[in-house]
């Protein structure tokens, strides 16, 4: 295995590669980003007869989508009490319904298209071993029930034994996300769409009623002309318009997969932050447990070893296991914790975005794909108002807003005022980078771009390598 390959990447070499863009194109819709959201959006658009192309700078499903736990659930941690309190009950009910529908949509696609991706229905649990967190669990159970979810309280979790409390959402699901996205991409091709890998978008300009998207392929530039553009790069790569970098931050999480003889009946995540999330997976008769979490804000100066807490968890509850894979992945979190799905900006027609999934991208990706497809086709979507990507509301997450402003001040302004030299600065907006000793990467504390030790770009929003190497 290569460094930082999740368990889902292990059989990628046996799967087809998609070619790079070799010539200029004219299409109806250009989707930028080949994760689960981009490929799902392309699938729905191609099904509607749109001429659609997906441009992915690496391999499809090779970043966040390929580093997820693969839980398909409407249980987005302890979230529904928060939604009722911060928004209102009707808002929370719509959010729940959107994600429950997404689970069914994904299952329908898998059955219709005959995608072999190890899909199975299981209950999802959030649990706590901390008596001080018990009331939060009880509040979440009642909140979910009030919205129509058949949530249950439990004080026992398999493998862990007795806990202070847990909330169960029945009839959720899990799968292999790389197998699913790869199968979905094949469907896009069959329906007349195109998918290109190793094709890095570097520019997008509006020219009259069309967009000119420039992509770099092996040092050469290719142009795609499209009436519509959909940006699904996890973190939007275009700063203006939209200014999404003012509304989100990124977190880095770690994952391990252990070989074991133990199977699980459910999917689990702790209520404590940083979380530990675990589920099982079986392939060719071999059982694995995926343990993911222990996250922190990307670029944060921390004593957190990343993998150590996950490995201790494995040793404690699965003592006969063997660690087979280690990886890390990023995700975006909006300041109000609700995804941004819809128009890229109020002043840019026909350009759309899906981001800020708060680590729950499996269902959110399907919600986004349907919502954006509806917008392009001029159809009303039931959830566009609650997920409005251009919303301007009072920032409820005051603590994180304060942290963001502090990071910008420390990373952009202070080093220049002090005249410090020898520092590494992000190619996105110039923030000072920090060195992550665990992952051996340069990480940006402002907006989450990450670079290899030699300055090669790993993940955006930056689209450039570091020039100082």
Domain identity same for 222 and 259: no
Domain identity same for 157 and 231: no
Task: Give residue 108's pLDDT.
Answer: 98
Domain identity same for 251 and 160: yes
The CATH number assigned to the domain holding 357 equals: 3.50.50.60
Helices (H), 66-176: 80-86, 89-113, 134-146
Quick check: 300 and 319 in contact, CB under 8 A?
no
Range of the domain at 423: 398-459
Number of domains in the chain: 3
Q: What is the mean pLDDT of the chain?
A: 90
Task: Give residue 144's pLDDT.
Answer: 98
Domain identity same for 347 and 240: yes
Domain identity same for 253 and 322: yes
For the chain, list residues with pLDDT below 70: 1-3, 11-14, 242, 303-304, 393-422, 468-469
For the chain, helix (H) and strand (E) counts, in that order, are 9, 21
Domain identity same for 269 and 329: yes
Cα Rg of the chain (Å, integer): 21
CA distances (Å), origin 420, targets 369, 406, 443: 45, 18, 18
Task: Give residue 5's pLDDT.
Answer: 82
Calpha distance 393→334 (Å, rounded): 12
Pick the closest to residue 166 from 267, 238, 95 (CA basis). Answer: 267
Domain identity same for 273 and 406: no
Residue 464 in any domain: the answer is: no
Domain identity same for 328 and 415: no
Residue 283 in any domain: the answer is: yes
Domain identity same for 259 and 326: yes
Task: Give residue 400's pLDDT.
Answer: 53
Residue 358 in any domain: the answer is: yes
Residue 86 in any domain: the answer is: no
CA distances (Å), origin 341, targets 53, 66, 113: 20, 21, 26
Task: Give residue 139's pLDDT.
Answer: 98
Domain identity same for 153 and 229: no
Domain identity same for 150 and 281: yes
Calpha distance 194→35 (Å, rounded): 14
* 367-407 pLDDT, tens digit each: 999 999 999 999 999 999 999 999 876 555 555 555 555 55
């Amino acid at each position: 295995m290569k460094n930082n390959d999740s368990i889902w990447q292990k059989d990628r070499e046996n799967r087809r590669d998609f070619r790079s863009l070799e010539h200029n194109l004219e299409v109806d819709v250009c989707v930028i980003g080949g994760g689960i959201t981009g490929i799902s959006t392309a699938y729905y658009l191609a099904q509607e007869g749109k001429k659609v192309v997906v441009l992915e700078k690496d391999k499809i499903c090779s970043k966040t989508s390929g580093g997820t736990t693969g839980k398909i659930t409407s249980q987005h941690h302890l979230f529904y009490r928060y939604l009722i309190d911060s928004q209102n009950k009707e808002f929370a009910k719509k959010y729940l319904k959107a994600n429950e529908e997404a689970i069914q949509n994904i299952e329908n696609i898998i059955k219709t298209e005959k995608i072999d991706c190890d899909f199975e229905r299981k209950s999802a649990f959030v649990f706590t071993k901390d008596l001080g967190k018990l009331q939060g669990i009880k509040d979440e159970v009642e909140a979910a029930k009030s919205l129509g979810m058949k949530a249950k309280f439990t004080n026992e979790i398999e493998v862990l034994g007795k806990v202070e409390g847990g909330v169960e959402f029945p009839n959720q699901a899990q799968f292999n996300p790389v197998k699913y996205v790869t199968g979905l991409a094949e469907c896009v091709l069959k329906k007349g769409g195109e998918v290109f890998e190793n094709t890095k978008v570097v520019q997008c300009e509006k020219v009259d009623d069309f967009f000119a998207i420039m992509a770099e392929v092996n040092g050469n530039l290719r142009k795609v002309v499209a009436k519509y553009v959909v940006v699904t790069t996890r973190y939007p790569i275009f700063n203006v318009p939209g200014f999404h970098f003012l509304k989100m931050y990124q977190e880095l999480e770690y994952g391990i997969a252990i070989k074991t003889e133990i199977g699980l009946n459910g999917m689990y995540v702790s209520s404590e932050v940083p979380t530990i999330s675990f589920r099982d997976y079986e392939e060719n008769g071999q059982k694995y447990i995926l343990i993911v979490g222990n996250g922190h804000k990307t670029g944060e100066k921390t004593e957190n070893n990343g993998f150590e807490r996950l490995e201790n968890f494995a040793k404690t509850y699965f003592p006969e296991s063997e660690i087979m894979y280690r990886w890390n992945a990023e995700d975006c979190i909006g300041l109000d914790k609700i995804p941004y799905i819809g128009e890229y900006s109020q002043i840019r027609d026909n350009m759309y975005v899906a981001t800020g999934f708060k680590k729950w991208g499996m269902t959110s990706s399907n919600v986004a794909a349907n919502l954006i497809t509806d917008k392009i086709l001029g159809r009303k979507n039931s959830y566009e108002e609650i997920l409005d990507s251009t919303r301007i509301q009072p920032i409820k997450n005051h603590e994180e807003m304060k942290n963001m402003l502090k990071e910008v001040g420390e990373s952009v302004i202070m080093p220049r005022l002090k005249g410090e030299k020898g520092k590494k600065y992000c190619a996105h907006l110039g923030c000072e980078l920090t060195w992550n000793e665990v992952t051996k990467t340069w990480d940006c504390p402002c907006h989450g771009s990450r670079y290899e030790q030699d300055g090669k770009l790993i993940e955006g929003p930056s689209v450039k390598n570091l020039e100082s190497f």
